[in-house]
Structure 1
Amino acid sequence: MITLQLVSTKKEMQGVLALQQANLRKNITQEEADAQGFLMAEYDLTFLELLHRASPGIIAKDGEQVVGYSLVALPETARHHDLLADLVENIERCIFDGKPVENYAIVAQLCVSKEYRGQDLVQKLYGSFRDHYADQYTFCVTDVAQANHRSLKAHKKRGFQVIDTLDYGGIGWDIVLWDWHKKAAQES
């Protein structure tokens, strides 16, 4: 049985890192990247511990095995990683509904193990992410490589909308935002 929870142990963070390594763009074939999606940012245990202290990530576990995760970064912690710092800089120049994007949490990374894809875990991870953080933040923001069609489709299905684009390392990225308060008002 798959359970969702906040990250609570170093062993779980190590499970996140193992799943991350298995899905980094540099560690998979082009065919797999095209069909299944991929991760670009590589984190280490020290950085995960920094993220965890400020805002624990959400994990999906099957028994003791981490089979999916959604990492949470706040702007101040994101600035400790080059890729995320660049994202924060770009978010800070974005305008949404005529106003600057403020009071947001960042999806620092989301991944589901290959064996568990197609079970709606991305949507469940995002639902749990929102359940834990929507009372503190207005928006959830991340970026998705434009070449990662599977990921962009999953984000749009959840309610994210593209608010800007950027180029990083020769790759085009869409900055996507999920307006939690608008969604909450629609659900009421």
Structure 2
Amino acid sequence: MIIYGRVTSEEELNQILALQQKNLPWVVSSEEKKIEGIVTVCHTLDILRAMNELCPHIIAKSDGIVIGYALCMHPKFADAIEVLRPMFDEINVVHPKIKNYIVMGQICIAKAFRGQGVFRKLYQTMLENIQPEFGLIITEVDAENRRSLQAHYSVGFEEFKTYRSGDQNWKLIGLS
């Protein structure tokens, strides 16, 4: 049985980091990247903890182990992670007046639990837990990550724009 909720302990934060480590670009093979997707950002425990204090992350657990997560990133962290700064700049271009949004900073599901509705339920749980304080979830997806884009569109995300940062094209998307 999978249980969904918010992070309540340091151990859960460490389990998020362990799952993240298994899905980083330099760990996953090129073929697997195309099929399964990857996570882009490698967080530290300190930043993950600080983010969680402002808006607790969403997790899925099975037998007491975190098997999926959706990180809640308050706009106050716009300058905290270098690779995400361009996304916040683009958010300010697309929605300069919007103040009540949260960024989904990363989503990941353990391989053994993919294709079982965990992705959809993580976002459903996130929406239920952030409202009414935040009326919009914004995130970005690498335009080449077809699996992730399809999954996001299937739960109701809409595209705001495509932009280039570094050597990648990104889709800036939102869910309300």
> TM > 0.5 between the two?
yes
| Partner AA of 2:15 in structure 1 | G
Match of 1:25 in 2: 25
Say yes or no: does 1:142 pair with 2:139: yes
Match of 2:81 in 1: 81
Gaps of 5+ in 1: 181-188
3-state SS of 1:135 partner: coil
Say yes or no: does 1:63 pair with 2:85: no
> TM-score, normalised on structure 1?
0.90
3-state SS of 1:23 partner: coil
3-state SS of 1:3 partner: strand
Distance 1:141 1:47 in 2: 19
Superposed CA offset, 1:119-142 (max 9, x none): 110000000000001211121100
- The percentage of counterpart residues that share the same residue type is 30
Distance 1:5 1:164 in 2: 31
Superposed CA offset, 1:72-103 (max 9, x none): 011102321112222111111014xxx74432
Q: 8 Å contact 1:94–1:100 — kept in the other structure?
A: no
Deviates more, 1:78-87 or 1:33-42: 78-87
**Number of matched pairs:** 176
Distance 2:127 2:138 in 1: 12
Q: How does 1:1-188 map to 2 (within 5 A)?
A: 1-95=1-95, 100-178=97-175, 180=176
> TM-score, normalised on structure 2?
0.96
Distance 2:20 2:101 in 1: 24
| Partner AA of 1:125 in structure 2 | L
